[in-house]
């Protein structure tokens, strides 16, 4: 029985709680605390030094300044750290070497949290010896602060040994049963999340090595797999490189715990070296070299099949209570599932990588006067295969070749299979010598017969495609397009134009579809880019905003053609190569295929020379009588050609005059119109020359139309707005032209 307070005193004794006015003690009375110094305190003698009091209570002091990287301890703290009992100063590395690595990391986190919340920092620290064994557990209490001027934490606190039993013993865990169970649940949640996020065998092993189980963390781990009738070590942690040698390729019939686990599917727990030696005397000498005290070998089982074993070895004795076995069993199951997923994912990546590489061609031999570069990146998710492809096909006679790029609807194995068959068909039609329009017409009929004859709507697919026949000697490009994005031309000075081309329906929709051919000329120093829409429409972009992003890359790039191909892919999806898989690919929304064709010359990027001031910039376009909508395309071409012209008024005037000239040809003649627009000269003194040619012999005349006249103003406008203009008869037909000077705009601004 605890005695009550002395009768009749009415005053609290040492150790009793404070009084509330008008009342007795606020809480139940407690007996006074006695100490070796209580007599001195009663007689009024000076109080002893704080250090003496703490030493009497087996409590040490330590001071840590992160700015200097030094840890100062008194004699008692030094003793608790396993050092001689005398004051000393340690470096952070020396102090960290005396503590468990996990606990040292926890200290830094607790300190930061305590400073942020303005509270005391309390943490338990396991003190380790030279053999990396836990010799004691101490509790640290401190009031840390942050020095903003030095950007450093300063900690002054106490170290006191925890009197409860050591971790790993039943008594120790029975004393903290509630904490143990809460820690176990938190640990399993964290471990499950980390293993679920691991994408490869290497990542799974790294997560397993970092697991710190509550109260009984192993210091050695190994994961065994099965290869035929032998064990193989998939990975290990806590041992030196080469230590796994005796255990590699061990026969399953060997008297070894991991082999028995694989054979029987049942776990093996060995709490002491004596148990290990008595049960497995043949292989005990191999395990004895590591100096461990307890071992757990658990089966890695997936869908009822034991795929390997997991070893957890401990530097101190572990009794393997039901709670501990439950934790180990749960971790083994999660580890088996993670390894199984990683193995399946790696097999799928290897399969699809080989499949895509086999379907994608190697670019042909070097082409005199031209260079070609290509990239393909699959979409993320699933098997990472899709329907995008590119090809380079040698054509019969004259050194010509064809470039093909396309996209089969879908991102699955069926799309990849159709892509492979369509690519072969296109190669066959091209090798027979057919023109671009005939190649696409035959390919469309081929794809329609393969897909739309099926009763299953899922099999009915279409494909977009762009086919370019190239003559390296002249730079002539004959282009047929089936629902695919138009090509872009990067001129020698970096100006980028989208070349509008005639096109038809995507392949496979209409077996009788026509695909008109558009002829362009790739001038020396120019580069053509063709791509699938995955390069443009990603990250929430549509065709317009996505194209602006790609256009900026084309205009600003100064490297060679291969570097330009990498820059296009990297700017959209990050670092890539000719073929990319893994976590990077998983972030992609669509497949990407890119083809670049460069006609060698200054500014092309095929060499090291880049022209910064153009000598000539040119665009050419035909407008047929039956295609009046191409007048708008011609206006857009001229705007892009004049993208850096300083006077917007002159650009607007040029676009207006061009529209008048083309419209006059379509309205007043039966001929088609051919536009040729050029920009010549150096920056600041350039000349814009725009010419429209037709085959009609009727020459235009300047006349003054009446107020209500519906025509007759075209030449009047040219005379008013152009710096100079003219009409030139030709052998067949005529051409009307005008010029605007950049220097005129500069003079007007002055």
Query: For residue 443, what pLDDT is reported?
Result: 93
Q: Could you read off the pLDDT of 55-113 as tens digits, one per residue? A: 667 788 989 998 898 999 998 889 999 899 999 999 988 888 888 887 887 787 778 76
Q: What is the 3-state secondary structure (H, E, C) of 35-85?
A: CCCHHHHHHCCCCCCHHHHHHHCCEEEEEEECCCCEEEECHHHHHHCCCCC
Q: Report the b/e string of 229-241 with b at 16+ CB within 10 A.
A: eebbbbbbbbbee
Higher-pLDDT residue of 20, 439: 439
Most confident of 113-122, 123-132, 177-186: 123-132
The band of 240, judged by pLDDT with boundaries at 50, 70 and 90, is confident
Query: For residue 640, what pLDDT is reported?
Result: 86
350 near 579, Cβ under 8 Å? Answer: no
Q: CA–CA distance from 185 to each of 180, 314, 329 (Å)?
A: 9, 21, 14
- Residue reference for tokens 């296009």: 568
Q: Could you read off the pLDDT of 249-289 as tens digits, one per residue? A: 788 888 899 999 999 999 999 999 999 999 999 989 988 88
Phi, psi of 602, rounded to the nearest 5 degrees? -60, 130
Query: For residue 438, what pLDDT is reported?
Result: 94
Q: In what order do the strands lie in the sheet with 673-680?
A: 616-623, 673-680, 687-694, 734-741, 724-729
CA distance 524 to 489: 12
SS3 107: helix
Mean pLDDT throughout 345-362? 66
Query: For residue 415, what pLDDT is reported?
Result: 78
CA distance 383 to 344: 11
Query: For residue 174, what pLDDT is reported?
Result: 45
Tell me what the pLDDT averaged over the chain comes to: 78
Q: Is the pLDDT of residue 639 over 80?
A: yes
Q: CA–CA distance from 487 to each of 110, 244, 475, 634 (Å)?
A: 59, 58, 15, 16
- For residue 327, give the nearest of 294, 301, 302, 296 by alpha carbon: 296
423 near 417, Cβ under 8 Å? Answer: no
Query: For residue 629, what pLDDT is reported?
Result: 87
209 near 358, Cβ under 8 Å? Answer: no
Query: For residue 309, what pLDDT is reported?
Result: 92
Q: Is the pLDDT of residue 165 over 60?
A: no
Most confident of 131-145, 399-413, 467-481, 690-704: 467-481
The band of 657, judged by pLDDT with boundaries at 50, 70 and 90, is very high
The band of 602, judged by pLDDT with boundaries at 50, 70 and 90, is low
- For residue 494, give the nearest of 536, 526, 529 by alpha carbon: 526
Query: For residue 537, what pLDDT is reported?
Result: 79
The band of 580, judged by pLDDT with boundaries at 50, 70 and 90, is very low
712 near 705, Cβ under 8 Å? Answer: yes
Query: For residue 388, what pLDDT is reported?
Result: 84
CA distance 91 to 68: 9
Higher-pLDDT residue of 743, 492: 492
Q: Is the pLDDT of residue 198 over 80?
A: no
422 near 408, Cβ under 8 Å? Answer: yes
Side-chain half-sphere of 241: how many Cα atoms within 13 Å? 0
- Listed in sequence order, the DSSP H helices in 452-516 are none
Query: For residue 588, what pLDDT is reported?
Result: 46
Q: Is the pLDDT of residue 3 over 60?
A: no
CA distance 558 to 581: 28
Q: Could you read off the pLDDT of 297-329 as tens digits, one per residue? A: 999 998 888 889 989 888 888 888 877 888 888
Q: Is the pLDDT of residue 168 over 70?
A: no
**What does the DSSP 8-state code read for residue 130?**
T
pTM of the model: 0.54
- Residue reference for tokens 């070349």: 499
Instruction: Tell me the two tokens of residue 582.
Output: 């893994």
Query: For residue 315, what pLDDT is reported?
Result: 87
Query: For residue 361, what pLDDT is reported?
Result: 65
Q: Could you read off the pLDDT of 263-274 as tens digits, one per residue? A: 999 999 999 999
How buried is residue 148: exposed, middle or buried, by Cβ count under 10 Å (0-12/13-18/19+)?
exposed
- For residue 269, give the nearest of 323, 220, 318 by alpha carbon: 318
Query: For residue 384, what pLDDT is reported?
Result: 53
Q: Is the pLDDT of residue 535 over 70?
A: yes
Alpha carbon 479 to chain centroid distance? 36
> Could you tell me whether strands 294-302 and 305-314 are parallel, antiparallel, or unpaired per DSSP bridges?
antiparallel
The band of 133, judged by pLDDT with boundaries at 50, 70 and 90, is confident
- Among the residue ranges 190-194, 214-218, 672-676, the one predicted with the least confidence is 214-218
């Amino acid at each position: 029985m605890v005695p009550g307070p002395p009768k009749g005193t009415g005053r609290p004794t040492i150790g009793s709680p404070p009084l509330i006015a008008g009342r007795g003690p606020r809480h139940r009375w407690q007996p006074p605390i006695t100490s070796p110094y209580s007599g001195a305190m009663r007689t009024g003698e000076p109080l002893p030094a704080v250090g003496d009091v703490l030493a009497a209570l087996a409590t040490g002091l330590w001071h840590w300044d992160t700015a200097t990287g030094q840890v100062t301890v008194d004699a008692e703290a030094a003793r608790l750290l396993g050092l001689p009992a005398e004051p000393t100063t340690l470096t952070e590395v020396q102090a960290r070497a005396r503590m468990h690595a996990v606990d040292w990391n926890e200290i830094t986190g607790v300190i930061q949290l305590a400073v942020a919340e303005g509270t005391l920092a309390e943490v338990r620290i396991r003190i380790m010896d030279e053999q990396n064994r836990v010799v004691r557990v101490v509790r640290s209490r401190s009031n840390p602060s942050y020095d903003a001027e030095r950007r450093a934490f300063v900690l002054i606190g106490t170290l006191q040994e925890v009197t409860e039993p050591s971790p790993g013993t039943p008594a120790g865990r029975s004393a903290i049963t509630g904490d143990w169970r809460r820690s176990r649940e938190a640990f399993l949640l964290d471990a499950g999340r980390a293993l679920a996020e691991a994408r490869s065998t290497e990542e799974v092993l790294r997560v397993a090595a970092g697991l710190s189980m509550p109260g009984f963390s192993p210091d050695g781990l190994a994961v065994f797999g099965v290869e035929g009738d032998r064990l193989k070590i998939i990975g290990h942690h806590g041992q030196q490189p080469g230590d796994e040698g005796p255990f590699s390729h061990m026969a399953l019939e060997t008297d070894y715990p991991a082999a028995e686990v694989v054979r029987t599917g049942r776990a093996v727990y060995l709490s002491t070296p004596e148990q290990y030696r008595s049960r497995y005397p043949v292989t005990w000498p191999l395990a004895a070299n590591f100096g461990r005290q307890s071992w757990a070998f658990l089966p890695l089982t997936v869908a009822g099949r034991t795929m390997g074993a997991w070893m957890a070895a401990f530097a101190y004795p572990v009794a393997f209570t039901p709670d501990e076995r439950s934790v180990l069993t749960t971790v083994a199951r999660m580890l088996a599932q993670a390894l199984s997923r990683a193995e399946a994912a790696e097999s799928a990546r290897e399969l699809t990588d080989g499949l895509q590489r086999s379907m994608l061609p190697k670019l042909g031999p070097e082409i005199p006067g031209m260079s070609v570069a290509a990239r393909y990146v699959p979409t993320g998710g699933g098997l990472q295969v899709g329907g995008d492809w590119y090809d380079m096909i040698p054509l019969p006679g004259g050194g010509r070749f064809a470039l093909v790029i396309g996209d089969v609807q879908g991102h699955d194995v069926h799309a990849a299979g159709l892509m492979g068959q369509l690519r072969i068909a296109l190669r066959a039609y091209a090798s027979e010598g057919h023109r671009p329009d005939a190649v696409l017409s035959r390919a469309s009929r081929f794809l329609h017969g393969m897909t739309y004859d099926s009763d299953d709507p899922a099999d009915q697919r279409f494909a977009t495609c762009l086919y370019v026949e190239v003559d390296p000697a002249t730079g002539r490009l004959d282009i047929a397009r089936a629902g695919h994005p138009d090509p872009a031309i990067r001129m020698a000075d970096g100006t980028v134009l989208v070349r509008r081309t005639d096109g038809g329906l995507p392949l496979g929709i209409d077996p009788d579809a026509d695909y008109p051919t558009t002829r362009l000329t790739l001038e020396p120093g120019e580069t053509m880019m063709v791509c699938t829409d995955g390069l443009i429409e990603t990250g929430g972009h549509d065709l317009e905003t996505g194209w602006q992003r790609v256009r900026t890359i084309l205009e600003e790039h100064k490297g060679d053609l291969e570097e330009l191909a990498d820059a296009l892919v990297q700017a959209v999806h990050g670092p890539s190569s000719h073929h990319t898989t893994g976590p990077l690919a998983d972030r992609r929304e669509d497949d990407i295929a890119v083809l670049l064709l460069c006609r060698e010359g200054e500014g092309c990027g095929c060499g090291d020379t880049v022209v910064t001031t153009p000598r000539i910039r040119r665009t050419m376009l035909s407008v047929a009588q039956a295609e009046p909508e191409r007048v708008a395309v011609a206006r857009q071409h001229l705007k892009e050609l004049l993208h850096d012209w300083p006077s917007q008024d002159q650009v607007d005037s040029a676009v207006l005059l061009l529209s008048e000239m083309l419209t006059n040809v379509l309205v007043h003649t039966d001929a088609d119109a051919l536009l040729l627009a050029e920009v010549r000269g150096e920056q600041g003194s350039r000349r814009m020359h725009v010419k429209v040619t037709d085959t009609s012999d009727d020459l235009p005349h300047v006349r003054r139309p009446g107020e209500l006249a519906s025509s007759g103003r075209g030449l009047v406008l040219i005379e008013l707005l152009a710096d100079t203009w003219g009409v030139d008869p030709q052998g067949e037909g005529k051409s009307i032209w005008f010029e605007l000077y950049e220097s005129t705009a500069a003079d007007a601004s002055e």
